[in-house]
Amino acid sequence: MNKFVHYPLLKHNKRGPVLDIRFSPHNTHLEDPGSFVKRDPHLRQLQQQLLVHRSNLLDKLPFDQAGIYTIGGGRQIGKTTLIKQWMAELLQTGVEPKRIAYLTGELIDDHHSLVRLLTETINEMPVVGVRYLFLDEVTYIHDWDKGIKYLADTGMLENVVMLLTGSDLVIIKEARMRFPGRRGTADIVDFHLYPLSFLETIKLKKRFSTYSLDRLMEPKIKPSASSLDILYEEFDLYLIHGGFLTAINDIAKHKKVMISTLATYSDWIRGDVLKRGKQEHYLREILEAIIKRYGSQITWNALAHDLSIDHPKTVADYVTLLASMDAAFIQSALVEDKLTAAPKKARKLMFADPFIFHAVKAWLTPHKDPYSRQAKKPIVSDPDWAARLAESCVVTHYRRYYPTYYIKAKGEVDVAYIDQDRFWPLEVKWTTQLRPKDLKQIAKYSNGRILTKSRLCRKIMGIPAEPLPLALLRLGSAENPALSFPQ
């Protein structure tokens, strides 16, 4: 028997409309738009941080084009805060408060309740003009896609900017499959929110003036020694806090990442995996295996052989789930002539951000001082772990912009990303010693590059080489990152 629960955002009494108490903390703009930034729990917490980030994704979101939009991304990276920032900016541009409503899927059971709630919320909004509905963590709602499809088919979402978010990247895939022809006319309707990139982190910390940072972005300009000192210092920190704003602020405020910050993220991973019917002891084994073989080639069969999990498909299911949660990244080998993944070759497994690595490790091997003993020490003192994390940073940065693989032939190339209908090979050498035998494979490609620990822009065996932190900084800012090496 279906349950239809009457939970409108605005209830009515003798005095007029009254906010549903479940959603009222997130919709204080309906009571007093002028105090929204101060009263909203997420924006209030954001303003208390030393370093406040505004995602450039806010400039790409639709302002007045009705349609169904999605934002996917991992836990604790700021999707809800981004929505609240957009709500505040809409209010500042003069959008009527009654045209904006925020709902969270954590408080909505199924698509029947969703349809009833959204219908009554839309009916409370002005009829003329664009209306904004933000449905956060939509994947918590059972059969959410059925509810959204029904509303779209009935015409209820006309003149509505409907923004759906989820911590499972399947939301984007589902939206593409379920809502063809119902998304609107915007060129881009699906967005992926990542942790802060190295460039975004540098901008956030404001250690460079705008002029100095702009000059660093110029491929033909040789960076000063002092600029490189800052970049290398910040990259060492990035290998600890990654792009997670809470961890970045922890180090800015406390000179370390707090245990509670690490625990919050590892708890989310465990909770989301268990919610999907998986076993915690299997999750622990697989996470331990990812760390043990971090960035190394591995097959599902070989991984299953070393674990108590009997079937390789079970291992693949767990890792794929971690990837869909944006916690892990699966780097496949490249079929060079087809520019696609090689399904039968070994894969490389890594976490999607350095902070996730440290959060998982702190859960697997608890310590009273995980920052000093498990995060800082391996990065600063252990060349092997620093090299592994540096390579994974390069991989997960390039995958934000391009399909990203590795090359396995007679030799190996760490990264091969696809752009302009060809692949661009990169070798990552976060070490002070480069051996010619390690460069034999990359030397076979005319468009190869080496990202090094050296602070010099030069050529090694005829291959352009540049400082790794500088290359990551310029990634995404140049029109063609493949050509960012000074000619």
Question: How do residues 190-241 score in pLDDT, each as one tens digit?
Answer: 899 999 999 999 999 999 999 999 999 988 889 999 999 999 999 999 999 9
Per the CB < 8 A criterion, the answer to whether 452 and 467 are in contact is yes
* Distance, CA of 131 to CA of 479 (rounded, Å): 35
pLDDT tens digit sequence for 24-79: 899 999 999 999 999 999 999 999 999 999 999 999 998 889 999 999 999 889 99
Q: Contact, 470 vs 484, CB < 8 A?
A: no
Task: Write the burial class of residue 437 (CB in 10 Å: 0-12 exposed, 13-18 middle, 19+ buried).
Answer: exposed
pLDDT tens column, 105-160? 989 999 999 999 999 999 999 999 999 999 999 988 999 999 999 999 999 999 99
Lowest-pLDDT range, 28-37, 47-56, 175-184, 436-445? 175-184
Does the pLDDT at position 482 exceed 90?
A: no
Residue 218, both tokens: 């110029």
Q: Tokens representing 253?
A: 């405020």
Picking from 243, 145, 260, 265, the residue whose alpha carbon sits closest to that of residue 198 is 243
The angle subtended at Cα 200 by Cα 358 and Cα 347, nearest 5°, is: 50
Contact in structure between 402 and 418 (CB atoms under 8 Å): yes
- Write the single-letter amino acid at 62: P
* Structure-token pair, residue 244: 């997670």
The kind and range of the H/E element at 430 are none
270-294 burial, b at 16+ Cβ within 10 Å, e below that, comes to bebbeeeebeeebbebbbbbbbebb
Reply yes or no on whether the pLDDT at 15 is more than 60.
no
Question: 107 and 5 in contact (C-beta within 8 Å)?
Answer: no
- Domains in the chain, please, with CATH? 10-192 (3.40.50.300), 198-483 (no CATH)
Compute the mean pLDDT over every residue in the chain, rounded to the nearest whole number: 90
Strands 160-166 and 328-331: unpaired
* Confidence at residue 20, expressed as pLDDT on a 0 to 100 scale: 66
Query: At 313, which amino acid appears?
Result: K
Question: Do the strands 404-408 and 347-351 form a parallel or antiparallel pair, or are they unpaired?
Answer: unpaired
pLDDT, residue 481, reads 43
pLDDT at 16: 43
Three state DSSP letters for 218-275: CCCCCCCHHHHHHHHHHHHHHHHHCCCHHHHHHHHHHCCCCHHHHHHHHHHHHHHHHH
d(CA 410, CA 361): 33
Per-residue pLDDT at 450 exceeds 90 = yes
Decide if pLDDT at 102 tops 80.
Answer: yes
Proportion of the chain in helix, strand, coil states, percent, rounded to 5: 45, 20, 35
| Sign, Cα dihedral of 58, 61, 66, 67 | negative
Spatial contact of 73 and 57, defined as CB atoms under 8 Å apart: no
Nearest Cα residue to 23 out of 71, 112, 77, 87: 87
Q: What is the pLDDT of residue 375?
A: 86
Q: pLDDT tens-digit profile of 453-479?
A: 999 999 999 999 999 999 999 996 654
Q: What is the pLDDT confidence band of residue 171, given thresholds at 50, 70 and 90?
A: confident
As given in the structure block, the two tokens for residue 61 are 């979101």
| Residue 347 and residue 333 in contact, taking contact as beta carbons nearer than 8 Å | yes
Exposure of 111 by Cβ count < 10 A (0-12 exposed, 13-18 middle, 19+ buried)?
buried
Strands 328-331 and 347-351: antiparallel
Long-range CB contacts for residues 141-145, cutoff 8 Å, separation at least 24: 141/105, 141/108, 141/109, 141/110, 141/111, 141/113, 141/114, 142/109, 142/110, 142/111, 143/110, 143/111, 144/105, 144/111, 144/114, 145/111, 145/174, 145/175, 145/178, 145/179
SS3 for 431?
coil
Question: Distance (Å, rounded) from C-alpha 83 to C-alpha 55?
Answer: 11
Cβ–Cβ under 8 Å, residues 10 and 121:
yes
User: Taking residues 237-261, what's their average pLDDT?
Assistant: 96
User: According to the model, what pLDDT value does residue 9 have?
Assistant: 58
pLDDT tier at 175 (50, 70, 90 boundaries)? confident
- Per-residue confidence band for 168, with pLDDT thresholds at 50, 70 and 90: confident
